[in-house]
Structure 1
Amino acid sequence: MRTSFGTILVLLGCLLAAPAVAAYALVGEVTDQQRYLDAVEPLADDPAIQQSVASQIDTALGDKVPEAAQPLVDQSVNSFVRSEEFRQLWLSVNKEAHPEVLAMLRGEESGSLSVRGDAIVLDLGDVTTQLRDRMSAEGVPFADQIPRVDASVELISRPAVRQLVPAFDLLETLSVVLPIVALLLLVGGVLIAARRGRVLIVGGIGLVVVMLLLVLFQFIARSQVTARSPRPELAGSFYDALTSQVQTMAWIVCGVGGLAVIVGGIVASAQGRRTAPPTPPPSRRASFSR
C-alpha cells in the first residue's frame, strides 16, 4: 500500500517536473536583466543579425558613396558589424529594451518596442558616429560626409507574441511554487514507499520521458514562432537565446532521471536479497549399517 501511494506521488511529481523546469528557467532568464543580457549578448555575433544590419546600412548609403569607394565602404561596414563597438551598442540597446521585452511578454501595451507591419522591431538607433569613426580609421574617402544611418533588428512576429503571452503569464505565476511542489512530491513519494528501489526506477524513467517531451515541445514551439515571423532566422536566434536555459536544465534533469534508474536498480536488488526467504538446509537421511 505504501509503495503504491508513493508511486502515485512520484508520477504526479514527474508530470509537474516539465512545467516546473520551464517556468523556473524561462522566467528567471527573462525577468532577471543580467541573465537576459548574458543570453542575448552572443546574438551580436550571429551572422543573420550582422547581415541584417549590414544590409540596412548599405541600403541607407545607397548611391551616396562614390563607386570607387564602394569596396572600402563595404569592407568598413562588414568590419563594423563584427566589431566590439557593435557588440557594446547591441548590449546597450538590449539593456534599455529589457523592460519593454518584459512588458511585451506580459501582454502590456506600454512597451516602447516599435511595431512595423506585423513584427516586433528592436531599434539600434543612429549608428552614423560609429561608422564615421571606423571609416575614417580605415581610410575611406568622404567618411565624414556619410548620411544619417538608422539600424534595427526584427525580433519576432506580433501574432507569435500573442500566442506566448498566456503561457508566459502562467509560467511566471507558477515559477516559484511549481518547482517546490514537484520536488516535494518526488522526494516524498520515495520516502513513503516501502520498496524505494522500484519507486526510484519509476520516477527516473518518468523524469527522462517528461524531459524529452519538454525538449520536443520546445522544438515545436520554435518552429511555430519562426514560421509566423517575417524574418525566421532572426526570430529563431532570439527564441534560442531566451530558451537556452530551459533546454540545458531539461537535459540535466534527464541525466538525474537516468541516475535515479541506476540507483533504484541497485536499491531494489539489495532489498530483494534482504527479503528473500532463507534456503532450507538439505535433509539428510540416517543410514543404518547391518
Structure 2
Amino acid sequence: MDPPRAPGPQGSGAPYGDGPLTPSERRDYARLRKRETLHHRRLRYAGASVLLVLAFVLSPLAVVAAWADSQVSDTDRYVQTVAPLAKDPAVQNAVTDRLTTRVVDNVDVKGITDSLSNALARTDAPPAVVDKSHLLAGPLKNAITSAVHTVIDKVITSDQFAQLWDGANRKAHAALVKTLTGEGNSAVEAKGDSVVLDLGTVIDKVKEKLVADGYEKAANIPDVDKTIPLFQTDKLDDAQNTMRLLNVVGTWLPVVVIVLAAFAVWAAPAHRVALMVTAIGIGVMMVLLLVGLVIARRIYLDSVPTTTLPSDAAAAVYDTFVRFLRNSTRTVLVTAVITAVAAYLYGPGRGARFIRSASSRATGATGRAMARSGLRTGATGHWLETRRRWTTGIVIVAAVVALVLWNYPTAAVVALILCIAVVVLAVLAVLGAASTGEGAEEQRTRS
C-alpha cells in the first residue's frame, strides 16, 4: 500500500497536493507521458508521410515542367535542342527525299516529252521515232530525280544548311510558344493533328543552287509545300493544354517539391531517416519517369505513319527533343542517390561507422605527418578542428548552392561538385589534424 500523503493547501485545486508523487502516481504519470509522446510522434509521422507523398507525386511533373519552361523561355536552350537534327543522317535523308519529290513533282515531264514529239514531227522524223518518244518520260524523270536529289543532298548535308537551320530556329523561337499555346505566327505551327516546320528559307536556297548548277528552269518552279511534319497526334489539343499548364508552373513547381520535402524531413521525428526516405522516394520516381519516356517513345513511333516521316527520322526527332529532359531526370536521380548515401553515412550503421572511422584515421594520419615534418597549421588548424561541424555544414551548403545556381546541371556536374566537396572536406580535416605536433601525437597515442 502506498504511504499516506499530506493533503495540499486548501483551494489550491491540485488533486494530489504538493508532496512527492507516490509510486502508483509515478507509474500513472509515466504511462500518460508515454501515451502523449507516442500520440505526438504518430501525428508527426502522419504529417511527414502526407508531405512526402505529395513531394513524390509532384517530382516527375516538376522535372517535366521545368524542362518545358526552359524550352519556351530560353532561346539558346531551344536552339541547342533542335540543332542536332540538322546533322542527323536520318533526318537529312528524310528532308532530302521529301524535297526531291516535291521539286520533281512540279516538273512537267509529260509536257517535255510532248514538246519533243512535236519537234520531231516537224522535222519529218520517222513515225516510229515520233510515236515512241513518250517512252523517254520514265528515264527523263529518273534522270531529273537523280540530279535534283544530288544537288539537294549537297545542300542539306552542308555546314551552310546547319547554319540556316540554327538561324531559322533562332528567329522562330516563338514557334515553340505557337506549338504550345496556338498563338502568334512562326515557322513551327500546329496544323490539325500535326506539328510542322516551315522550311521556306531552305527550299529557296535549294532552288538557287539548282539554278547555279545549270538548271535554269528551276527558277520557274512554283512554290511547293514548304513544311516538314515533326509530330502527328490526335491528342495535340490535350498536349497543348497540358503544356500551357506546365509553362505556368514550370518555375514554381520544383520549388514547391523542395519545400514539401524539406518540411517532411523537419516534421519527421527521425530527420536522418526521413531524409533517406525522401531521397530514395524521389529517386524511384525519376526511374519511373525514365521508363515513362521509353514507353512514350514507343507510342510516338507507332503513331507516326512512315508516309509522314520514316521511322529512323521520327526516332531521331523524338530522341533529340527529349534528350535534355532525360538529362534533367538523370541529374535529379544522381542527386537523390548521393543524398541517400550521405544520410546513411551519418547514421549508426556498421558500414557507416567503418567508413567514418577509416576516413578520420586517414586524414588524421596525414595531418600528423604534416605536423611532424614542420608543416603545422597552428591556431588556424585548431580553429578548423574545433569547429568541424560548422565547416562541414558550410561546405555542404556551398555545394548545394553551386548546384542550384548552375545553369542546367547534368549528372556529370553533380559528380564534379560532389568530388570538389569531398576534397575540400578532406583538406580541412587534414589541416585541422596538423594544428600542433604535440596534440597530434597525443591524439595518435590515444587512438
Aligned residues between the structures? 269
1:66-119 residue CA offsets vs partner (Å, 9 max, x unmatched):
87786555433222111122112222333344324312322x365465667753
Q: Does 1:259 align with 2:338?
A: yes
Instruction: Provide closer, same or farther for how the CA distance between residues 68 and 254 of structure 1 changes in structure 2, counting only shifts above 3 A.
Output: closer
Q: Does 1:61 align with 2:140?
A: no
Structure 2 contact 44–269 (Cα < 8 Å) conserved: yes
Secondary structure in structure 2 of the residue aligned to 1:251:
helix
Q: Does 1:249 align with 2:328?
A: yes
Of the candidates 230, 235, 244, which is equivalent to residue 169 of structure 1? Answer: 244
Structure 2 contact 65–249 (Cα < 8 Å) conserved: yes
Of the candidates 5, 12, 20, which is equivalent to residue 62 of structure 2? Answer: 20
Of the candidates 89, 92, 116, which is equivalent to residue 47 of structure 1? Answer: 89
Secondary structure in structure 2 of the residue aligned to 1:122:
strand
Structure 2 CA distance, aligned partners of 1:173 and 1:255?
27
Structure 1 counterpart of 2:199: 124
One-letter code aligned to 1:253: V
Structure 1 CA distance, aligned partners of 2:238 and 2:165?
27
Structure 2 CA distance, aligned partners of 1:171 and 1:208?
21
Instruction: Provide closer, same or farther for how the CA distance between residues 68 and 52 of structure 1 changes in structure 2, counting only shifts above 3 A.
Output: closer
TM alignment of 1:66-77, pairs within 5 A: 73-77=148-152
Instruction: Provide closer, same or farther for how the CA distance between residues 115 and 166 of structure 1 changes in structure 2, counting only shifts above 3 A.
Output: closer
Structure 1 CA distance, aligned partners of 2:262 and 2:203?
59
Q: Does 1:32 align with 2:107?
A: no
1:14-67 residue CA offsets vs partner (Å, 9 max, x unmatched):
222111111111221234322111111111112232112211332213667787
One-letter code aligned to 2:338: L
Q: Percent identity?
A: 25
Structure 2 CA distance, aligned partners of 1:260 and 1:134?
57
1:139-179 residue CA offsets vs partner (Å, 9 max, x unmatched):
x5x23442437443111115242231232122122212211
Structure 1 counterpart of 2:264: 189
Structure 1 contact 14–206 (Cα < 8 Å) conserved: yes
Unmatched segments (≥5 aa) in structure 2: 1-40, 110-139, 354-447
Deviation, 1:194, is: 3.8
Secondary structure in structure 1 of the residue aligned to 2:195:
strand
**Aligned-residue RMSD, C-alpha:** 3.3
Q: Which has more radius of gyration?
A: 2
Q: Does 1:208 align with 2:283?
A: yes
Secondary structure in structure 1 of the residue aligned to 2:62:
helix
Of the candidates 200, 210, 215, which is equivalent to residue 143 of structure 1? Answer: 215
Structure 1 contact 105–161 (Cα < 8 Å) conserved: no
Structure 2 contact 301–315 (Cα < 8 Å) conserved: yes
User: What TM-score comes out, normalization by structure 2 length?
Assistant: 0.52
One-letter code aligned to 2:104: L
Structure 2 CA distance, aligned partners of 1:66 and 1:185?
66
Structure 1 contact 10–199 (Cα < 8 Å) conserved: no
Structure 2 contact 195–229 (Cα < 8 Å) conserved: yes
Q: What stretches of structure 1 move > 6 A for 4+ residues in a row?
A: 63-70, 270-273
One-letter code aligned to 1:61: V
Instruction: Provide closer, same or farther for how the CA distance between residues 110 and 225 of structure 1 changes in structure 2, counting only shifts above 3 A.
Output: farther
User: What TM-score comes out, normalization by structure 1 length?
Assistant: 0.77
Secondary structure in structure 1 of the residue aligned to 2:199:
strand
Unmatched segments (≥5 aa) in structure 1: 274-290
Q: Which structure is richer in relative contact order (CA contacts within 8 A, separation 6 or more)?
A: 1
Instruction: Provide closer, same or farther for how the CA distance between residues 126 and 245 of structure 1 changes in structure 2, counting only shifts above 3 A.
Output: closer
One-letter code aligned to 2:342: V
One-letter code aligned to 1:143: Y
Instruction: Provide closer, same or farther for how the CA distance between residues 159 and 66 of structure 1 changes in structure 2, counting only shifts above 3 A.
Output: closer
Structure 2 CA distance, aligned partners of 1:96 and 1:216?
34
